[in-house]
Amino acid sequence: MIRNKHVAMTLTVIALAAVSLFVRDAYSSNLVTWMAIAALTATSLRFVSLIGELNFATAAFYGLGAYGAGTAVTLLNLPFAVALLAGGVVALLVSAVFGYITLKTKGPYFLLIGFAFTEVMRILYTRSDWLGGNSGMVGIFPPSFFGAYFSTFAVLLCGAFIVLLYTIERSDLGKVFMAIRDNDNVVLSVGIDVHLMKVACFCIGSFVAGIAGALHGFANNVISPGDFGFLLSTFALAYMKVGGEDSPYGPITGAVLLVGLGSLAMRMGAGEHVFYGAAIVLAVLLMPKGIVGLAGVAASLGKARKSGKAGNAPQLRTKEGRSHG
Amino acid sequence: MANTANVLAETRSLTRRFGGLIAVSGLSIDIRKGEILGLIGPNGAGKSTTFNLISGFCKPSSGSLFFDGEDMTGKSPVTISRGGLVRTFQHGSLMRSMTVRDNILIGAIGALKGSRRNERLTRVNETAAILGLTPYLDEVAANLPHGIQRLVSIAIAFAPRPRLLCLDEPLTGLNQTEVGTTLEVFSRIRRDFDCTILLVEHNMKAVMKICDRIVVLHHGQMLATGTPQEVRENESVVSAYLGKRHGA
Amino acid sequence: MQTALQLIVTALQIGSIYILFSLGLTLIFGVMKIVNFAHGQFFTLSALLVAALVPWFAAHGYGVTLAYLFAAGIGVVTSVLLGMLIYQFGFRFFQRDLAGSFILSTGLVLLLEGAFLHYFGGAVRTVPPLVSGNVNIFGVNLTSQRLLLGLVAIMATGAMYWVLSATRFGKAMRAVSIDHEAAMLQGIPYKRLAFQGFAVATFLGAVAGALLAPISVITPVLGSDYLVKGFIAVIIGGLGSVPGAIIGSLFIAMIESIGGFYFDPSVANLAIFVLVMVVLLVKPNGLLGSR
């Protein structure tokens, strides 16, 4: 059963990559790249939600990844693969420190401090002249042998990390994360260091967000502080929510849909923000389980229902209720 | 008086204050190896606080706590659990959204961190068998009846094979038959796994039946201690507590 | 000494806006256990309406004061109505669901900011002050408008305190904030209370916006700027705590005042963030938050 789900996801990634090979014009190809990056970012957000926290600092680590990779390439002249990894590693290291301190808090406090951290990082970039200050960094180019196939590379890379995150989610480690979300006192009582586990989950998610940010740098060729504000986290949240947070395919679906529709909206002159805002509001009010959730309900209506096998997935650690334990 | 070699855990003048309220005061009890010790008392007597103090979920205001000769005062819940003391919680001591198998797995992971997946799965299956949960392994805990959920919470706590198992009202909401089977499980655990059990319970009949010794708490202090017989005949206990109701 | 006084006065000015802002945020959290990211939008809408209508009224022959009062009245009422609409069709269904309500509010931020940009344009506006001239207190110079703002903030704070401790409404709100289920069992009309709490919070935000209009430059993204600080004030003080919101706001204002004077605003922002981290390290639920 487990092996089947992995195979299914890996095949999906390969299929999507194959599709991207046929997307030839520059605009659409670029769009595919952005969809891949968006999907990875949203998946990173969903991964941290396994411990029941809404990680609003996703944008901060995405930004660290971008600046890390950008610095590696433009200032240190390191090769592409190293730079990409460097972005992830920078994000990882900072997330370890940040997470260790802030994961002692939960729910709204963790959320808001992630938000504040994002804004502070943005200010730091603006004040750092060696990073280009307010104008940002330019000249972040992927190696030329990619040519027009960078989008396929992006799909494969992001897909690989999404599969990796999924593997962790289904492993025993993933179960520990989800148990923490459900009832962290019980997990503590059997001798598992809950705080360390939360930090681990957070670091893994942030590393991946850093990789996504690094890819952003190479896809856009220029980065500036304004790219990495809390709005980015909000978009990631939109992808996850609209696509459906219960399924690993949710963030992918949401990202592809919203990035695609968003670009359409932009071409028609409508405000991008209004579009995303409306999408989020509608999704939250009308489709709480997201598109994938709707699809799931539709599918189960077709089959005979098993008794009460409804989705019992607990909410993020933000729902008030009787305290456990 | 207990022989020190016999003592698995003890508290010395354990006190816990919450602002002006004294929840537990000067509590000195010992838990002997291999026994089933009952902790009883009316609501508000300090039983939950005592549990929290012993398991590290609450730090004492004064006094100390020893487990197997080691000073565990003020240590974290993780340290104390890894030392061999595992406790359950009064309400919802399980992960409702996960299957029974995954629930027990969490307990197994706690103890068998470096081990291979097979060892953990074996431990899960063995634990489930002891608790009679084998038919329910693939069910999501939230869908199961209350009595089974209680067993699951005990299974989670027992999976790491603790030396001291602290159960917070494990029999609440169980019917006669379920109480009977659960008590048998306790006996089996104690006998076959060298496990000492500390039990907080309101079900007096069960307490009298299964416990080797009983500690009675009242207003945060120890009112009496002894065998079930001794406690039942203790006048202060009778007037303060037992006289009012005869359990189950 | 003079400098110190000046800094304190500046801090109090800045702080008064943050107080009005954070009182609303903490009230909503206390009663509904949700985080309303869109709270800044009521503030912005009110300020924008004032900025747009005062010139219009003035052009129609009303004196500045009257024009301002009309505009402020319209601004506040419109904001509160918007808030009620959003509550009725949105937040009402997400009480105690922090993730859901937060996500909803982020969507609203995007939507509303976009709408404001569209209808009011991105141009920056200024408004003539309600009361003009300066005032001298202990040798420190202060515009009368800012003094008025400070006075209103003090009055609002005092009113909140009184309401929370002396009125039935206030006591009910506190009960709900501490233990929602127990409060329901006592027969406290929880839903009505949530509605009223949300209304009061929105009102506070709208009033702050109307008062700020003559002092600050009004842009459609104004709300977001104050939002960050307002939230930080509330984290430091502890979500749900009124005294906490005030202490947090004053802390931040003090740092901004000092930091802005000796260094520059962005250093001040950094310092504020470090402060938050330190506070949360020691008290994960804020200084006065419930454990």
Burial class (CB in 10 A: 0-12, 13-18, 19+), B228: middle
Kindly determine whether residue A104 and residue C273, on different chains, have CB atoms separated by under 8 Å.
Answer: no
Residue A309, chain B, CB below 8 Å: the answer is yes
What confidence tens digit (pLDDT) does each residue in A44-61 have? 999 999 999 999 999 999
Q: How far apart are CA B246 and CA C5, in angstroms?
A: 72
CA A153 to chain centre: 18
* Token pair listed for A159: 């897909």
Min Cα distance C270 → chain A (Å) is: 6
C266 neighbourhood in chain A, CB within 8 Å: 123, 126-127
Q: How far is CA A234 from CA A231, B89, C107, C135, C206, in A?
A: 5, 37, 8, 44, 25
- Identify the three-state secondary structure at position C137: strand
Res A215 pLDDT > 50: yes
What is the strand order of the sheet B85-87 is part of? B85-87, B164-168, B196-200, B36-40, B213-218, B221-226
What confidence tens digit (pLDDT) does each residue in B148-195 have? 999 999 999 999 999 999 999 999 888 899 899 999 999 999 999 989
A179 neighbourhood in chain B, CB within 8 Å: 95, 98, 102-103, 106
**For residue B83, which phi and psi values (nearest 5 degrees)?**
-75, -10
Number of domains in chain C: 1
Residue A76, chain B, CB below 8 Å: the answer is no
Burial C213-228 (b: 16+ CB within 10 A, else e): bbbbebbbebbbebbb
For residue B132, the one-letter residue type is G
Q: How far apart are CA B34 and CA C42, in angstroms?
A: 65
Q: Quick one: pLDDT at residue B248? A: 41
Kindly determine whether residue A274 and residue C110, on different chains, have CB atoms separated by under 8 Å.
Answer: yes
Kindly determine whether residue C280 and residue A113, on different chains, have CB atoms separated by under 8 Å.
Answer: yes
Instruction: With CA atoms as reference, report the closest residue to A205 among A53, A84, A14, A70.
Output: A53
Res A5 pLDDT > 90: no
Min Cα distance C103 → chain A (Å) is: 7
Q: What mean pLDDT comes out for the span A206-235?
A: 94
In three state form, how does the secondary structure of chain B look? CCCHHHEEEEEEEEEEEECCEEEEEEECCEEECCCEEEEECCCCCCHHHHHHHHHCCCCCCEEEEEECCEECCCCCHHHHHHCCEEECCCCCCCCCCCEHHHHHHHHHHHHCCCCCHHHHHHHHHHHHHHHCCHHHCCCEHHHCCHHHHHHHHHHHHHCCCCCEEEEECCCCCCCHHHHHHHHHHHHHHHHHHCCEEEEECCCHHHHHHHCCEEEEEECCEEEEEECHHHHHHCHHHHHHHHCCCCCC
Count how many Cα atoms sit within 13 Å of the Cα of residue A101 in the half-sphere of its side chain. Answer: 16
Q: Which helix (H) or strand (E) holds A313?
A: none
Kindly determine whether residue A104 and residue C269, on different chains, have CB atoms separated by under 8 Å.
Answer: no
Strands B164-168 and B85-87: parallel
B169 to chain A: closest CA residue: A325
- Identify the three-state secondary structure at position C60: coil
Q: Quick one: pLDDT at residue A313? A: 52
Q: Does residue C288 form part of some domain?
A: no
**For residue A61, which phi and psi values (nearest 5 degrees)?**
-80, -30
Kindly determine whether residue A120 and residue C269, on different chains, have CB atoms separated by under 8 Å.
Answer: yes
Q: Quick one: pLDDT at residue B72? A: 93
Min Cα distance A239 → chain C (Å) is: 11
B interface mutation test: which of A190, A192, A317 has the most B CBs within 10 A? A190
Query: Residue A127: which of C102, C266, C286 has the nearest Cβ?
Result: C266
In order of start, what are the domains of chain B with their CATH numbers? 1-84+162-248 (3.40.50.300), 94-160 (no CATH)
pLDDT band at A318 (very low <50, low <70, confident <90, very high): very low
Q: Which residue carries 């203790």 as its tokens?
A: B234
CA B185-B188-B193 angle, 5° bins: 120
Q: Quick one: pLDDT at residue B148? A: 92
A184 to chain B: closest CA residue: B95
Q: Quick one: pLDDT at residue C290? A: 62
Query: Residue A312: which of B82, B96, B117 has the nearest Cβ?
Result: B96
Kindly determine whether residue C266 and residue A119, on different chains, have CB atoms separated by under 8 Å.
Answer: no
Q: Quick one: pLDDT at residue A171? A: 93
Residues of chain C with confidence (pLDDT) below 50: 291
The chains in contact with chain C, meaning 3 or more Cβ pairs closer than 8 Å, are: A
Mean pLDDT of successive 10-residue segments in chain B (248 residues)? Answer: 76 89 90 93 86 93 92 93 94 94 94 83 95 94 93 95 94 90 92 93 91 91 90 81 52
DSSP 8-state class, residue A188: H
Res A143 pLDDT > 50: yes
DSSP 8-state class, residue C62: -
Kindly determine whether residue C96 and residue A321, on different chains, have CB atoms separated by under 8 Å.
Answer: yes
Query: Residue A308: which of B98, B143, B153 has the nearest Cβ?
Result: B143
Our answer on whether B and C touch (3+ beta-carbon pairs < 8 Å) is: no
Q: How far apart are CA A65 and CA B213, in angstroms?
A: 61
Number of residues that make up chain C: 291
Instruction: Quickly count: other Cβ atoms within 10 Å of residue A231's Cβ.
Output: 18
Q: Which residue carries 């609203």 as its tokens?
A: C108
CATH fold of the domain at A2-301: ABC transporter involved in vitamin B12 uptake, BtuC (1.10.3470)
Q: Does residue C49 form part of some domain?
A: yes
What confidence tens digit (pLDDT) does each residue in C144-176 have? 777 777 787 788 778 877 877 778 777 777 777
Q: Quick one: pLDDT at residue A92? A: 97
Q: Quick one: pLDDT at residue C129? A: 64
Q: How far is CA B110 from CA A88, A109, A191, B128, B157, in A?
A: 30, 28, 5, 16, 10
Task: Evaluate whether C31 touches C193 at the Cβ level (below 8 Å).
Answer: yes
Task: Evaluate whether B73 touches B97 at the Cβ level (below 8 Å).
Answer: no
Full residue range of the structural domain in which residue C145 is found: 2-282
Our answer on whether A and C touch (3+ beta-carbon pairs < 8 Å) is: yes
Q: Quick one: pLDDT at residue A323? A: 36
Instruction: With CA atoms as reference, report the closest residue to C276 among C246, C250, C257, C248.
Output: C248
Q: What mean pLDDT comes out for the span A160-179?
A: 95
Query: Residue B77: which of A179, A183, A188 has the nearest Cβ?
Result: A188
DSSP-assigned beta bridge partners for residue B85: B164
Please tell me the pTM assigned to this model.
0.88
Kindly determine whether residue A277 and residue C111, on different chains, have CB atoms separated by under 8 Å.
Answer: yes
Q: Write the CATH number for C142.
A: 1.10.3470
Q: Quick one: pLDDT at residue A319? A: 45
Q: Which residue carries 């509904």 as its tokens?
A: C32
A54 neighbourhood in chain C, CB within 8 Å: 98-99, 102
Kindly determine whether residue A322 and residue B91, on different chains, have CB atoms separated by under 8 Å.
Answer: yes
Q: What is the mean pLDDT of chain A?
A: 87
Residue A291, chain B, CB below 8 Å: the answer is no
Q: Quick one: pLDDT at residue A149? A: 85
**A–B: how many Cβ contacts below 8 A?**
99
Domain ranges of chain A: 2-301
Q: Does residue C289 form part of some domain?
A: no
Kindly determine whether residue A280 and residue C281, on different chains, have CB atoms separated by under 8 Å.
Answer: no
Kindly determine whether residue A312 and residue B55, on different chains, have CB atoms separated by under 8 Å.
Answer: no
Kindly determine whether residue A280 and residue C93, on different chains, have CB atoms separated by under 8 Å.
Answer: no
Q: Quick one: pLDDT at residue A295? A: 83
A319 neighbourhood in chain C, CB within 8 Å: 96-99
